Amino acid sequence: MDGIYEGITTALTTYNILMVSIGCFAGTFIGMLPGLGPISAIALMIPITYGMEPSSGLILIAGVYYGAIFGGSTSSILINAPGVAGTVATSFDGYPLAKKGYAGKALAIAAYSSFTGGTIAAVFLLFAAPALAKVSLSFQSSDYFALMVLGLTAVAAFAGKGKFLKAAIMTILGLMLATVGTDADSGVSRYTFGNLDLIDGISFLLLAMAAFALSEALMNVIENKKMSKEEKEALNKDIGNLTVTKEEFKEMAPVVGRSSVLGFFVGVLPGAGATIASFLAYGMERSLSSVKDKLMFGKGSIKGLAAPESANNAACSGSFVPLLTLGIPGSGTTAVILGALISYGIQPGPTMYTEQPALFWSVIVSMYIGNIVLLVLNLPLIPYIAKLLAMPKQLLTPLVIFFSLIGVYLVTFNTFDIYMMVIFSVIAVGLRLIDFPMAPMILGFILGGMMENNLRRALTISDGSLNFLWERPITATILVITILMLISPLISQFFSAKIKEEDR
């Protein structure tokens, strides 16, 4: 308790509040640029923190981290450019909402959900961080494999109205694209056609930008709908309006609560993280909704936006559990944070919260402050940011194309990536014209690599036996949930058919 008290006093110094505000502010802006995610944002900030106290440095970095995640959802919602894998699910419903003219509302929902997700996760951290270290180490490769399979069921959201086959084909395409590159299990390169640039596989960012942002911009050019003045005015009337009605809040509340808890626990697992958390929350909420609400998913559902947004923020805070209590980074971002910590001369581990209580707890306490700062900072800005969409298409479209291309190039400085991106976006436009959905492809791509690696690792460990599928309780439980989620629509259909028959 003394430690927590010490942490609160450290976090509440004017200097540290200033740091968390600067961090959130810088993170939000860097994160908004497609291509610059939390990793680049933090890498940019680390040199600045060298002269600071470790706690202030870490507080600043943590602020940048959730600021960047939050900023990433802004570009997902406004221009369908998810620069970070954790915000892909946000674009599923956030972008359709914005397209309908509710950009302000969508951003506001994202802000409220992120705030709640982050705050709930910080409460968990405060009361249970040391105890949760055990949870971090409870999942083995076979369990992660099952978790990825469960994540894939979120595809169902895009399979509505006779599109099932198309969604399935796109998922498989995504899984196939994930196999490009060096195979970890044998060290052999697959589908690289001897091309050096493909040895590390296709980058997520490149594929997401090509399939989402670039192809969307190109579709805008092709469709080039001429709107009458009245239509335009009607569309732009609500764009900056961020009022969320009482009914909508009521609809959101349970979704945000459930997704935050789920997101936090998935974030605690070093092999999962924010992306998986957001997909699982999205899939879960869809399964739990009524038949009528289900149809809205993927077309601008408020629940479909709130769920991944609360989950990914909660997961980000959750990922601090293995980082601080075990010294294990679960993602590229937390690996960079670990590097920063080591350069301050701090080795996180099981003894950190007893040896460095002020540092440990002040970071967690600063997360509350950070979340409040994010909300206060962003709500007044939303109307202005949302107005971006009111820009004439002739201006907006080239800007989107410019920023997506530059964003991808800035990460690798490799011109091959730009060619590949252009080719992918042209293919994506072709596929969209014949009504194939892009989201299942990106879902398959993100989950595919992790699914394969975990399955093959589990197989190596079990000497090739598949027994772990039913012998490990966690694996078996998750797989049972997966099967239930897949057949539940059939069961409910069966029952509703029966009821109808009886009615006759």
185 binds another protein (CB under 8 A): yes
Residue 135 interacts with another protein (CB under 8 A)?
Answer: no
- Token pair for residue 472? 């490990």
- Cβ atoms within 10 Å, residue 169: 16
Nearest distance from residue 441's CB to another protein, in Å?
Answer: 22
Q: Is residue 233 part of the contact set for another protein (CB under 8 A)? A: no
**237: number of Cβ within 10 Å:** 10
Cβ at position 414, least distance to another protein in Å: 5
Q: CB under 8 A: which stretch of 20-28, 222-230, 409-417, 423-431 binds another protein?
A: 409-417
Token pair recorded at residue 396: 């907006």
CA distance 255 to 262: 11
Using the rule CB under 8 A, give the single segment among 212-220, 248-256, 430-438, 459-467 that binds another protein.
459-467
Q: Which of 166, 393, 432, 457 binds another protein (CB under 8 A)?
A: 457
Based on CB atoms, which residue is closest to another protein, 51 or 392?
51
Return the H-helix or E-strand segment holding 303: helix 302-318
Q: Which tokens is 389 given?
A: 């969409």
Sign of CA pseudo-dihedral 352, 355, 360, 365: positive
The window from 101-109, 158-166, 184-192, 372-380 that contacts another protein (CB under 8 A) reads 184-192
* Among 441, 421, 427, residue whose Cα is nearest residue 205: 421
Taking CB under 8 A as the criterion, the residue among 179, 220, 236, 412 binding another protein is 412
Q: Is residue 376 close enough to count as binding another protein by CB under 8 A?
A: no
Residue in 224, 351, 467, 496 binding another protein, rule: CB under 8 A = 351
Q: How many residues bind another protein (CB under 8 A)?
A: 51
Among 83, 240, 300, 322, binds another protein (CB under 8 A): 322
Rounded Cα distance between 387 and 22, Å, is: 24
Taking the least distance from each CB to another protein, the nearer of 37 and 298 is 37
Residue by residue, DSSP assigns 395-460 as: HHHHHHHHHHHHHHHHHH--HHHHHHHHHHHHHHHHHHHTT--SHHHHHHHHHHHHHHHHHHHHHH
Q: Is the alpha carbon torsion for 418, 419, 421, 426 positive or negative?
A: positive
Residue 259: HSE in the Cβ half-sphere, 13 Å Cα cutoff: 41
Q: Pick out residues in 327-346 that bind another protein (CB under 8 A).
A: 327-330, 332, 335-336, 338-339, 342-343, 345
Asked if 200 is part of the footprint of another protein (rule: CB under 8 A), the reply reads yes
Binding mask 4-43 for another protein (x = CB under 8 A): -----------------------------------xx--x
Q: Is 298 helix (H, G, I), strand (E, B) or coil?
A: coil
| Contact positions vs another protein (CB under 8 A) | 39-40, 43, 136-141, 182-187, 189, 196-197, 199-200, 270-271, 322, 326-330, 332, 335-336, 338-339, 342-343, 345, 347, 349-351, 411-414, 416, 450, 453, 457, 460-461, 463
